[in-house]
Structure formats: structure tokens, C-alpha cells
Amino acid sequence: MGEQEQVLSKVDSTMPTRVLAILGMHRSGTSCLTGSLQAAGLFLGDCHTWNKHNEKGNRENQKFVDLHDAILAANGGAWDSPPATAVWQDEHVAWATDLLQAHAGESTFGFKDPRALLVIDGWKALYPKMEFIGIYRHPNAVAKSLEKRNYRHRDEWLELWYAYNTILYQQYLSNPFPILCFDDDEALLDDKIIRAAGQLGLVRKSDDHKFYTSELRHNDSSGDQALPEHISQLYQKLKNAEF
């Protein structure tokens, strides 16, 4: 029995009872969604609670980010240059297993990293009953936000939006899960988060525990130029799939 088969044989007895992955592209509201689910009782373990681009932190566990970066690099890619495929080596499977086993005592453990979309098949193979919730945002808003942080042309960021959200939509089609829209106004988005959390068995104790406010969103899509047809079509598909 190879290393990967040995690791997979341990999954049921040593993993958290439930694992929830929050899916979505960079600058698309994943931090707000993750913080909101944490406020409703989702255990995230050690996660970032502040950085200069997210006033309340991106809620990412750096160990998961490091794993995803390593997988992407091993396949000749990176977060902003997705590889054609993301094959997990035995060392990646063992690494991921260790991360989940470190939280084996939790009834529901969650993690968030936009890179997870690019390596999601490996997570599904390791933990087949993994649950998902997703969020997306207008392509122009994402491109505008990324342009402020990185020196690339808008068209490149739009294509990256397409790559990430194609995977998000494909995952939804294979096994539907709640998908939210970060373009919604604060009240509507908060209502949807509460309902989606409830569907996942998570309950926010009171409005005093509310994580998301509109001040956390710094860009919108108003007044921007038209989208390429394939990107516009995918955006509409996500709108149609919305929770």
C-alpha cells in the first residue's frame, strides 16, 4: 500500500466530523463570508484577524495557504497563474491530512483560501464528504480591486476571475451548495448569510456578533466598461445559481 492509500485509510477515524470549505476568488467577499460564519459558530482554528487589505483579517489559516501554494508551484503555477491541472503528490496529501487531523476534535471545522478552488479535486479525494459554500463578485469590481494591489492590465484580472469562477460554477453544478453574491447591499447579504449559515447548522447568537458591514467593501462595478462575452455569460450563470 502506497503512502497516499495509507493516508486515505485513516480519514474517517481521525478527521473532524464535518469540514466546510469557503470557496471564492480573491477580493470577492470570501473574508467577510468566512468571518460571518465564524461568528455563527464555525471553528477556523488559527487564522489571520488583521492585514492591511482586510480590516478584520482575511480569516485564512496560513498553513492551508502554504499547502496550496506548494501544490500550485509543484504544478508550475501560482495563485495568479493557475496551472492546467493541480496534481497532489503524496507529500501534499500527507500535509493536508495532518492539517485536518490537527482539528479532529472539532464537530465542524472550516477553512478559507481562494487558492483552494485551484486545488479542490485533491481536497475532495482526501475528504469526500467535504461541504462547500461559495461567494462571487462582479468581475469589474474584482479587477478594480486587484489592479490597486498588483501591476497588471484589467483584461488579465478578468481572465483570472473567469478561471476561478469557472471552477466555482462547475463545483456547484456537480453538487449544489449555497452561493452568495458580494454585490448585494449590506442588509440583503447579511440576511442571505444568516439563512445559508442556518442551512449549514450554524447560528449567529445575536446582531452583536455580526461580522460584515458595508465598510469592508471598497470597490463596486458601477460605470465600468462592458465585459467580454464569455465572462458576462459566466457572471449571469452565477447570478442564476445564487442562494
Domain ranges of the chain: 3-137+178-216
As to burial, measured by CB atoms within 10 angstroms (0-12 exposed, 13-18 middle, 19+ buried), residue 76 is exposed
pTM: 0.87
Which residues of the chain fall below pLDDT 70?
Answer: 1-13, 48-58, 206-223
User: In whole angstroms, what is the distance from residue 159 CA to residue 164 CA?
Assistant: 9
The whole-angstrom separation of Cα 38 and Cα 209 is 10
- How far does CA 222 lie from the centroid of its chain? 25
- Strand 179-181 vs strand 108-112: parallel, antiparallel, or unpaired? unpaired
Alpha-helical (H) ranges within the chain are 3-8, 11-14, 30-39, 62-74, 90-101, 120-126, 139-149, 154-174, 186-199, 229-241
Give the separation between CA 161 and CA 177, rounded to whole angstroms.
20
Identify the pLDDT of residue 207.
64
Mutual angle of helices 90-101 and 62-74, in 10-degree steps = 170
Q: 3-state class of 222 per DSSP?
A: coil
Phi-psi region of 191 (alpha: psi -120 to 50; beta: other; left: phi over 0): alpha
- 3-class DSSP state of 149: helix
| Residues 6 or more apart whose Cβ sits within 8 Å of residue 51 | 57, 58
pLDDT at site 205: 76
